[in-house]
Amino acid sequence: MNERCAACGLKFEREQGYFLGAMAISYALAVALVAALAALLWAATSWSLERAVLVAFVPLALLAPSLTKFSRVLWIYFDRSVDPTD
């Protein structure tokens, strides 16, 4: 991730550990994604719930880098709305 925004110059990492909140967002998004996909697979197939959950982790593994960046963006938006530093 870049140190600053190319358009507005916003410093992305304000302090050490700034993106710890993004990890919580990423975890919540990952759990929701796996749960939704596992529920769809379980309802659409005759697989056991355990197998549906294991298969649901495959797309998560492929989407993990994008999910990480997206959760960082969500964290920055949340942080800027709660604590603007203009």
Q: Which residues contact 14 (CB under 8 A, 6 or more apart)?
A: 79, 85
- Return d(Cα 31, Cα 37) in angstroms, integer: 10
- Tens of pLDDT, residue by residue over 11-27, are 777 777 888 999 999 99
Q: What pLDDT, on the 0 to 100 scale, is given for residue 35? A: 96
pTM: 0.79
List pLDDT tens digits, range 36-45: 999 999 999 9
CA-CA-CA-CA torsion sign (41, 28, 7, 4): negative
Provide the pLDDT for residue 86.
60
